[in-house]
């Protein structure tokens, strides 16, 4: 065990590190920089991946793309980095994001703090020493005063336990754990299960390459064009010249996607004008733009929602040539999942080498050594089976670690009725543990929310250390109150009425729960600021012993 040399304030004698950070995605990397480089703390970090990147290390399937526009899918704090940021296309692809995060790690020499290929298996708070005891899958044990979990909210993959899955003799892949050597699809018979954001991307990307593609669709999707294209020189110049204003707008906005949300209710304009607005958004591209830049009430008012949905349904009937396929692809439920956008998804079904199986009407019975058998008795023969079946979102990685707070309470037991937190970052009974994008964090373009959370809790660490305080714990009433706030806001929207990962409805047996704060980033930042300016009234902050 080493001694502690924190530059300022309280340290807990006997800890190996001031802070242990788990995760090398946007969140973990930024935290290491903040605590280690800005505050001089002694930090250790882990990721089970072989290098930095987080989500963008694992999700390297063909077509993987951020649907946040490039100019706001990154860090905002470093003005020099912003000017050097390669602005190539309107949206940034997985290889480009991975490169960006790797160069961020180089810029701040972050890798030296990490042990890669190392999974944290348990983290337990010792009430006597007030330290976190962290154990890895290599059997190493470390102690630290602070524990930061940047485990990712779309990171624990969901591989459905379909009968016979282990017998498949071809190649079986989940998009969230894509082989780093890539996959050669040339001429192969490929099946894809899942038509969410990931499914639509991978289906559209591989269709031209494969011999035959069979898509197993459980729920049809509303999706609009992404309109990927190179940025013009003028656009790049404008972005670079206006970063201050851009980030100010993003941080004060609702969904933080780099555009102003509409303030006009759909019913305020004529049907013709509504169609014109939807058509213009369709041409411009972007799922969040379509849902939030067109009208102010698509996510909250059933009639406005239906207008937006009906427009997409009309597009499907115009794009897809075979009426039977068009009917299968057409959703009739609410337009209230995370809004999707694509690079020609519906038109992909006009290809001769693509077929669609509606597995709600014709369920999958089993996976055989040679393919997928559906209830109608057909065996769809396959060489490769791709699971684009999403994630055990938000708390999925938390419950895989034996995290215990006070009274040895495991976080998965604390969350048995649904995960909770205060402000998406802290929980009562788990002192000095800070979650990045924990349950009930903001539902936004995520890098600005990550930056907001990390800035806030690292400032709290700095403030309390300066006062000689060592133990930070949120009050239970604050956690309960935050859950109520998140529920109240969610129930004002249509999102809880649609079955998706946003409310944990995608995992069989998982309790449907509110998992996000839908009040917008601007309002969220206001609450964090109030908490800090008020001297952290919702926390008990104490000396070590």
> Any idea of the CA torsion for 87, 89, 91, 95, to the nearest 10 degrees?
-80
Q: Are 326 and 317 in contact (CB under 8 A)?
A: yes
Each residue 499-538 as x (binds ligand FAD by CB under 6 A) or -, in order, gives ----------------------------------------
11 binds, among ligand NA7, ligand FAD, none (CB under 5 to 8 A by kind): none
54 binds, among ligand FAD, ligand NA7, none (CB under 5 to 8 A by kind): ligand FAD
- CA–chain centroid gap for 382, Å, is 31
Closer by beta carbon to ligand FAD, 402 or else 459: 402
Residue 9's CB: how many other CB atoms inside 10 A? 16
483 binds, among ligand NA7, ligand FAD, none (CB under 5 to 8 A by kind): none
Q: Which runs of E-coded beta strand occur in 43-180?
A: 43-46, 65-69, 91-93, 114-115, 120-126, 131-136, 141-149, 171-174
Q: Is the dihedral of CA 160, 161, 163, 169 positive or negative?
A: positive
Q: Does 450 bind ligand FAD (CB under 6 A)?
A: yes
Closer by beta carbon to ligand NA7, 198 or else 348: 198
Q: Is the dihedral of CA 248, 250, 251, 253 positive or negative?
A: positive
419 binds, among ligand NA7, ligand FAD, none (CB under 5 to 8 A by kind): none
Q: Does 23 bind ligand FAD (CB under 6 A)?
A: yes
240 binds, among ligand NA7, ligand FAD, none (CB under 5 to 8 A by kind): none
Q: Can you spell out the DSSP letters for 175-222? A: GGG--TT----BT-EEEEE--SHHHHHHHHHHTTTBSEEEEEESS---
Q: Does 26 bind ligand FAD (CB under 6 A)?
A: yes
Per CB under 6 A, which region of 25-33, 241-249, 516-524, 527-535 contacts ligand FAD?
25-33
Q: Which pair of structure tokens corresponds to residue 163?
A: 């009968």
Q: Are 442 and 520 in contact (CB under 8 A)?
A: yes
Each residue 135-174 as x (binds ligand FAD by CB under 6 A) or -, in order, gives ---------------xxx-xx-------------------
Which residues within the stretch 421-440 sit at the binding site for ligand FAD (CB under 6 A)? 436-437
Closer by beta carbon to ligand NA7, 154 or else 474: 154
Closer by beta carbon to ligand NA7, 177 or else 402: 177
CA distance readout (Å), 219 to 62, 357, 377, 379:
22, 11, 21, 21
Which residues within the stretch 178-207 sit at the binding site for ligand FAD (CB under 6 A)? 198
Q: Please, which residues bridge with residue 384 across strands?
A: 171, 190
Give the integer Cα–Cα distance in Å for 28 and 403. 18
Q: Which of 19, 22, 105, 364 binds ligand FAD (CB under 6 A)?
A: 22
Each residue 92-121 as x (binds ligand FAD by CB under 6 A) or -, in order, gives ---------------------------xx-
Segment holding 472, helix H or strand E = strand 471-474
Least spacing, CB of residue 446 vs ligand FAD, in Å: 3
Q: Which pair of structure tokens corresponds to residue 380?
A: 């769809």
Least spacing, CB of residue 73 vs ligand NA7, in Å: 12
Least spacing, CB of residue 361 vs ligand FAD, in Å: 28
Closer by beta carbon to ligand NA7, 153 or else 298: 153
How far separated are the first and last CA of the chain, in Å rounded?
20
Q: Can you spell out the DSSP letters for 46-68? A: E-SSSSS-THHHH---TT-EEEE
Closer by beta carbon to ligand NA7, 191 or else 405: 191
Per CB under 6 A, which region of 57-65, 220-228, 242-250, 289-297 contacts ligand FAD?
57-65
Residue 23, sorted as left (phi over 0), alpha (psi -120 to 50) or beta, turns out to be left
Closer by beta carbon to ligand FAD, 158 or else 397: 397
Q: Is the dihedral of CA 244, 248, 249, 255 positive or negative?
A: positive
- CA–chain centroid gap for 479, Å, is 22
Q: Which of 20, 24, 411, 474 binds ligand FAD (CB under 6 A)?
A: 24
Least spacing, CB of residue 405 vs ligand FAD, in Å: 17
**Position with the least CB separation from ligand NA7:** 196
Q: Please, which residues bridge with residue 69 across strands?
A: 91
User: In the complex, which residues of this chain contact ligand NA7 (CB under 6 A)?
Assistant: 154, 160, 193-199, 216, 218-219, 338, 359, 388-391, 501, 506
Each residue 451-480 as x (binds ligand FAD by CB under 6 A) or -, in order, gives ------------------------------
Burial 408-424 (b: 16+ CB within 10 A, else e): eebbbebbeebbbbbbb
Least spacing, CB of residue 264 vs ligand NA7, in Å: 26
Closer by beta carbon to ligand NA7, 315 or else 337: 337
Q: Can you spell out the DSSP letters for 325-371? A: HHHHH---S-S-SSPEEESSHHHHTTSTTEEEEETTTS-EEEEETTE
Closer by beta carbon to ligand NA7, 346 or else 501: 501
Which residues lie near ligand FAD (CB under 6 A)? 22-28, 46-49, 54-55, 57, 59, 64, 66-68, 119-120, 150-152, 154-155, 198, 397, 401, 436-437, 445-446, 450
């Amino acid at each position: 065990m080493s001694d502690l040399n924190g530059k300022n304030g309280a340290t807990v004698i006997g800890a190996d590190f001031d802070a242990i950070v788990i995760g090398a995605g946007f969140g973990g990397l930024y935290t290491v920089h903040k605590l280690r480089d800005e505050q001089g703390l002694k930090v250790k970090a882990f990721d089970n991946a072989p290098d930095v990147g987080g989500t963008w290390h694992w999700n390297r399937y063909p077509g993987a793309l951020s649907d946040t526009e490039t100019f706001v899918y990154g860090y905002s704090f470093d003005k020099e980095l912003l000017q050097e940021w390669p602005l190539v296309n309107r949206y940034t692809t997985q290889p480009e994001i991975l490169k960006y995060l790797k160069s961020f790690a180089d810029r701040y020499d972050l890798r030296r703090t990490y042990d890669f290929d190392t999974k944290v298996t348990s983290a337990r708070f010792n009430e006597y020493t007030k330290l976190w005891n962290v154990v890895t899958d290599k059997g190493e044990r470390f102690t630290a005063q602070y524990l930061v979990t940047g485990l990712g909210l779309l990171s624990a993959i969901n591989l459905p336990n379909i009968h016979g899955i282990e017998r498949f003799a071809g190649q079986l892949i989940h998009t969230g754990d894509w082989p780093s050597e890539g996959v050669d699809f040339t001429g192969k018979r490929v099946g894809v299960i899942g038509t969410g954001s990931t499914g639509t991307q991978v289906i559209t990307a591989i269709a031209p390459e494969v011999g035959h593609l069979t898509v197993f669709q459980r729920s049809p999707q509303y999706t609009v064009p992404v309109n990927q294209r190179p940025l013009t020189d003028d656009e790049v110049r404008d972005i670079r010249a206006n970063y201050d204003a851009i980030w100010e707008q993003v941080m004060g906005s609702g969904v933080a996607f780099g555009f102003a949300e509409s303030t006009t209710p759909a019913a305020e304009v004529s049907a013709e004008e509504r169609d014109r607005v939807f058509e213009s958004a369709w041409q411009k591209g972007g799922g969040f733009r379509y849902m939030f830049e067109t009208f102010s009430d698509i996510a909250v008012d059933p009639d406005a929602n239906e207008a937006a949905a009906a427009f997409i349904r009309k597009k499907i009937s115009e794009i897809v040539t075979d009426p039977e396929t068009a009917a299968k692809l057409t959703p009739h439920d609410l337009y209230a999942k995370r809004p999707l956008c694509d690079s020609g998804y519906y038109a992909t079904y006009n290809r001769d080498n693509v077929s669609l199986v509606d597995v709600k009407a014709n369920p999958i019975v089993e996976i055989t050594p040679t393919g997928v058998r559906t209830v109608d008795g057909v065996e769809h023969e396959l060489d490769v089976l791709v699971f684009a079946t999403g994630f055990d979102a938000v708390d999925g990685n938390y419950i895989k670690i034996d995290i215990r707070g006070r009274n040895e309470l495991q976080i998965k037991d604390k969350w048995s009725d649904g995960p909770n937190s205060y402000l998406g970052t802290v929980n009562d009974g788990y002192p000095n543990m800070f979650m990045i994008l924990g349950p009930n964090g903001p539902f936004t373009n995520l890098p600005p929310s990550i930056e907001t959370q990390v800035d806030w809790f690292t400032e709290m660490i700095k403030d309390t250390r300066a006062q000689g305080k060592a133990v930070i714990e949120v009050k239970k009433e604050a956690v309960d109150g935050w859950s109520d706030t998140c529920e109240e806001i969610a129930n004002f929207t249509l999102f809880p009425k649609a079955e998706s990962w946003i409310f944990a409805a995608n995992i069989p047996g998982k309790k449907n729960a509110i998992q996000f704060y839908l009040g917008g980033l601007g309002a969220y930042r206001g609450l964090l600021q109030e908490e800090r300016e008020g001297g952290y009234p919702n926390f008990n902050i104490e000396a070590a012993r």
